[in-house]
Amino acid sequence: MSNLSWRTASLALFGTLVVYLISFLGSRNTLAEIIWLSAILIITAFGRWRSLIFVTSLVVVELVAGSLGRLFAFPSGLSLREGLFAIALLATLLRLWRNPDELAYLRQHILKWPFLFLAAVIIWGILRGLTLHPFRLVIADANAYGYFLLLPAFLLAYREEKNRELLFSTILGATTAAALLTLFELYIFTHGWNEPFLGAQYKWVRDFGLGEITRAPGGFYRVFFQAHFWNFIVFIWSPALIVSHLGNIRANDSKVWWLFVPAALSAAALFVSFSRTFWLAAGLAALLGLAIVIARSDLRGAAFRYLGALIFISILGVAVPFAITRSVGGAAFSRAGALAGEAAADSRMNLLAVMAPVIREHPILGWGFGKELTYITKDPRLLAYFPDGRYTTYAFEWGWLDFWLKMGLGGMIAFLALVLTLLRGLWRGIAVADDRWLSLALFLSLVGVSVAHLFSPWLNHPLGIGLVLLIVALWQKTKSDPYIKKDSYF
């Protein structure tokens, strides 16, 4: 992974920024939104005839930068993410129909059994849910898992090394765009731009599923996008990527220093998000990465470069928001220290107290998708709609317990088996010179998201599922085909 395409990264960056701008400008005009969404889907559908890499690249850009996937939507409800998903699925089926050899290739994939086991428990959760809960709740709860159907698309599109490098470059560009939008929102809200524009920005961010902007003490504004999940991933990846490139280029090659741009901006977005889940998971992943580099003799020689890159990125990640507003400091310390007596933390604990006894009622079979629970929330946004604090939902914060509650013990085992299988393969990949730093980066990102999933639902969301698919598509053992058993660590 030593030849990242900066042209591809720049194209993803500017393309994503243009899409953000068009989405905002069309946010008050339904006809314009329909026209732009139709144009994007037509271009994507046309591109599938030329190359599967084209459509999957657009899927990746939307997944990385689109948060909940609603930057554009038809009045009927069909969103940009759903449209791209359908086109990618159709393109994959057509490719397999025309190239039967590739179907045989997929059948030999060493990870087919963990994924088939996972598919079985997901189907069980759906069937179980249909017997116990309303159809609409089951579908609404389970539909995110459909993103796993794109696994063949990613495996086929990124089978070649050059395409895997394009994938990494695309992610770096799109995450940089999301980070720049985050810092722009922070700037305009903390510097008090005119009220109509701020109101339009707030409404666009909230209504189009990008995230939320909330006022914090001291004149600071928390800007949180679901897309920060990918800034979190890039932050974890960055030290290993930088060390890898420093070891594979000439000393006067300046391209490597541009890696610090997406890395630092992702760190800044992560800081501004004020997500303690991301802070905790990123911190643990960083410490684990440093411990691995120091402990392993084959990595130890790069320990100072790894630590230096991590420290430099982190400093820039804090310095950039401070350059925008000094109020970030006090708000950050208050946020980090509010582990109890704070609305979100207390609401999570209230939910946990309700989930635990419900899981014990059906620990083996689970309750199926669509199971709703009622708990007391202290979230001010929800209290505006539920003044008594009693909130009923099927979407739960405790991600691993969500698997157990809805799919039974088999759900927990299936996801753990998949994650542990991937971690085992990546750990073995660290021992191979060509794969060392890439394997470490992917290993740490999977550990990080597994930790984050303890407190927030990520592995049952298209963003987290997308990471799993990308890890499988990115990871390689040798220059030869990495997905045949003889060439796999899995």
CB 69 within 8 A of CB 62: yes
φ/ψ (deg, to 5) at 215: -75, 135
Give the CA distances from residue 25 to residues 28, 31, 445, 487, in Å, rounded to whole numbers and listed in that order.
7, 12, 35, 49
- Give the whole-angstrom CA distance, residue 363 versus residue 347: 23
What are the respective helix, strand and coil percentages of the chain, to the nearest 5?
Answer: 75, 5, 25
Contact criterion met (CB below 8 Å) for 150 and 387: no
What average pLDDT does this structure show over 171-199? 93
H-run or E-run covering 364: none
Mean pLDDT calculated for residue range 19-27: 92
Q: Which residues pair with 376 in a beta bridge?
A: 390
> Per-residue pLDDT tens for 423-465?
999 998 888 767 789 899 999 999 999 999 999 999 999 999 9
Q: What is the pLDDT of residue 480?
A: 37
Instruction: With cut-offs at 50, 70 and 90, classify the pLDDT of residue 240.
Output: very high
At 38, the amino acid letter reads S
At 250, is the pLDDT very low, low, confident or very high (cuts 50, 70, 90)? Answer: very low
pLDDT for the residue 330: 57
Do 424 and 465 contact (CB within 8 A), yes or no?
no
Question: Does pLDDT of 346 surpass 70?
Answer: yes
CB atoms inside a 10 Å sphere around CB 332: 20
**What DSSP line would sit under 256-294, residue for residue?**
GGGGHHHHHHHHHHHHHHT-HHHHHHHHHHHHHHHHHHH
| Percentage with pLDDT > 90 across the chain | 62
- pLDDT for 51: 80
pLDDT band for position 422 (cuts 50, 70, 90): very high
Closest CA to 443 of 413, 421, 416, 465: 421
| pLDDT for residue 106 | 86
Q: Is the pLDDT of residue 29 over 90?
A: no
Q: How confident is the model at residue 251 (pLDDT cuts 50, 70, 90)?
A: very low
Total residue length of the chain? 490
On the question of pLDDT at 473 being above 90, the answer is no
Estimate to the nearest angstrom the gap between the alpha carbon of 119 and the chain centroid. 21
Query: Which residue, 454, 23, 64, is CA-closest to 226?
Result: 64
Q: How many CB atoms lie within 10 A of CB 287?
A: 11
Report DSSP state, residue 73. Answer: B
CB 184 within 8 A of CB 21: no
- The predicted pLDDT at position 341 comes to 44
User: DSSP secondary structure string, 147-170?
Assistant: GGGGHHHHHHHT-SHHHHHHHHHH
d(CA 370, CA 126) in angstroms, rounded, equals 8
pLDDT at position 334 is: 59
Instruction: Report yes or no: 290 and 310 within 8 Å, Cβ to Cβ.
Output: yes
Residue whose token pair is 């990846």: 237
Q: Is the pLDDT of residue 28 over 80?
A: no
Give alpha helix (H) positions in 133-150.
135-142
Q: Which tokens go with 49? A: 């005839």
Whether residue 282 contacts residue 448, with contact meaning beta carbons closer than 8 Å, is answered with yes
Q: Which residues, in sequence order, are CB contacts of 38 under 8 Å at separation 6+?
A: none
Q: Are 435 and 477 in contact (CB under 8 A)?
A: yes
